Amino acid sequence: MELKTFMEGIKAKNPNEPEFHQAVEEVAMTLIPFINEHPEYEKAKILERIAEPERVVMFRVSWVDDNGEVQINRGYRIQMNSAIGPYKGGLRLHPSVNLGVLKFLAFEQVFKNSLTTLPMGGAKGGSDFNPAGRSDGEIMRFCQAFMTELYRHIGPNLDVPAGDIGTGAREIGYMFGQYKKIRNEFTGVLTGKGLTFGGSLIRTEATGYGLLYFVNEMLKEKGDSFEGKTVVISGSGNVALYATEKAQEYGAKVVTLSDSNGYIYDPNGIDLAVAKQIKEVERGRIKEYADRVPGSVYTEGCRNIWSVKCDIALPCATQNEINGEEAELLVKNGVKYVAEGANMPSTPEAIDVYLKNGVYYGPGKAANAGGVATSGLEMCQNSMRYNWTREEVDEKLQRIMKDIYANAYEASKKAGQEGNLMVGANIAGFIKVADAMIAQGV
């Protein structure tokens, strides 16, 4: 099997989907040498089959805004792979959403979910709806219209969506309400639900906390610790805020947060209570932090964040937010660890720079798997009709993140590339899905 021919096939079959090509190429590059040593995978054409979604649903979402005007958005659900469990993956609401972006996310999700050790297949969905500036009533009507079609394609044993960019507890609540109304049943069909109707403790914190548990394992590997470390975090959404919280608990100093307009730098360490008030309560912009916290500065342009000196960089906003030049800048300023809270935040050029300069790199599909893992734990609790305590869920999350790290590390060693966690995560995630696909036949 050869990378070039394989990628030509992918590009011909999926034109105008650059993010999907990028995600598949990164995985194929690391997997093809492994597959070439395991002819059973090549013969069953597992990689070709994994790169083809099992099902793609695209649909119209029409709703009425506060001015009485009709709005039309496009909704999607990509059901990528169900070899090891029901489809599972988030719903993204952002104007940049299109088929290629969601296919890249669904593809990554297959490997990530496999790594969690829980029985979950991979999916992703969402819409090009832009929640920015929309009233609560508009958000509700959009979510209801979206679910009025999506409900046909999901179910607690079929496909269980969760949150992602633009989809938090509020949106999940409205979608759950609509599903329950249409189906006339109360089931764990979505995760990230409110705590009063089937949500799991720690789900809100899970991706950010899980990222830090993973980074903790990376530090331990190097005989290092969070003590005295300066951390740069991008984004100011769900993942960024709870990554900040756990980094601070570990004793590190987080000096930045950002949104798509710009970033704040606080040399004294982020005052998380202020950031949460602005983002979670007021749904404001991160710029307002600098008006409230003396000594902090706001800089227009979110990408400038990578010029801030740090030991650990945690991109937690969106795809391709660090390019090769920005990675060079991080290296020049002494970064030692990069771990991804966001999905595919580093371009292939940026990853090259990390690997060539000895930066210890934690790829998103391993490092940010804590979110979906805890969604898996929410599904377990829903099935049992029982709730675990905060400590019980946190303990399970910590164990899962440790296992993901250990499995990725072990697989990198077996592949002769010890410490290359990208290679390790791809191989470890692949084997379980591939073996299940072979066992289930063509």
Rounded-to-5 percentages of helix, strand, coil across the chain: 50, 15, 35
The CB-of-365 to ligand NDP minimum distance in angstroms stands at 9
Kindly tell me which of 230 and 346 has the beta carbon lying closer to ligand NDP.
346
Binding positions for ligand NDP, 89-118, rule CB under 6 A = 96
Binding positions for ligand NDP, 146-165, rule CB under 6 A = 163-165
Kindly tell me which of 47 and 327 has the beta carbon lying closer to ligand NDP.
327
Strands 230-233 and 253-254: parallel
Q: Is 346 helix (H, G, I), strand (E, B) or coil?
A: strand
The CB-of-302 to ligand NDP minimum distance in angstroms stands at 5
Kindly tell me which of 82 and 234 has the beta carbon lying closer to ligand NDP.
234
Q: What are phi and psi of 309, to 5 degrees?
A: -70, 130
Single residue of 113, 144, 200, 238 touching ligand NDP by CB under 6 A: 238
Single residue of 120, 175, 255, 302 touching ligand NDP by CB under 6 A: 302
The CB-of-22 to ligand NDP minimum distance in angstroms stands at 14
The CB-of-313 to ligand NDP minimum distance in angstroms stands at 15
> CB under 6 A: which stretch of 312-320, 401-409, 411-419, 432-440 binds ligand NDP?
312-320
Kindly tell me which of 113 and 148 has the beta carbon lying closer to ligand NDP.
113
Kindly tell me which of 19 and 259 has the beta carbon lying closer to ligand NDP.
259
Number of residues in contact with ligand NDP under rule CB under 6 A: 24
Q: What are phi and psi of 167, to 5 degrees?
A: -120, 105
Tokens at residue 194, please? Answer: 């409110």
Q: Give the amino acid at 216.
A: N
Q: Dihedral of the CA atoms 274, 278, 282, 286 (nearest 10)? A: 170
Q: In whole angstroms, what is the distance from residue 113 CA to residue 369 CA?
A: 7
Single residue of 98, 117, 130, 260 touching ligand NDP by CB under 6 A: 260
Q: How far, in whole angstroms, is CA 174 from its chain's centroid? A: 22
The CB-of-429 to ligand NDP minimum distance in angstroms stands at 14
**Cβ-proximal residues to 100 (8 Å cutoff; 6+ apart), any chain:** 14, 16, 17, 18, 19, 20
Kindly tell me which of 85 and 341 has the beta carbon lying closer to ligand NDP.
341
Tokens at residue 340, please? Answer: 């991804």
Binding positions for ligand NDP, 205-224, rule CB under 6 A = 207
Q: In whole angstroms, what is the distance from residue 277 CA to residue 226 CA?
A: 26
Question: DSSP states of 124-158 as a string?
Answer: EEEES---TT--HHHHHHHHHHHHHHHGGG-BTTT
The CB-of-434 to ligand NDP minimum distance in angstroms stands at 23
Run of H or E residues at 329: helix 324-332
Single residue of 82, 114, 191, 236 touching ligand NDP by CB under 6 A: 236
Strand ranges, E, within 210-346: 230-233, 253-254, 256-258, 262-265, 297-300, 312-314, 337-339
The CB-of-192 to ligand NDP minimum distance in angstroms stands at 7
Tokens at residue 311, please? Answer: 């030991």
List, by residue number, the catalytic residues: 124
Q: Does 144 bind ligand NDP (CB under 6 A)?
A: no
Strand ranges, E, within 186-234: 230-233
Binding positions for ligand NDP, 332-391, rule CB under 6 A = 341-343, 368, 371
Tell me how far apart the terminal alpha carbons of the chain are, to the nearest angstrom: 19
Instruction: Please give the residue ranges that form the binding site for ligand NDP (CB under 6 A).
Output: 96, 163-166, 207, 235-240, 259-261, 302, 316-318, 341-343, 368, 371
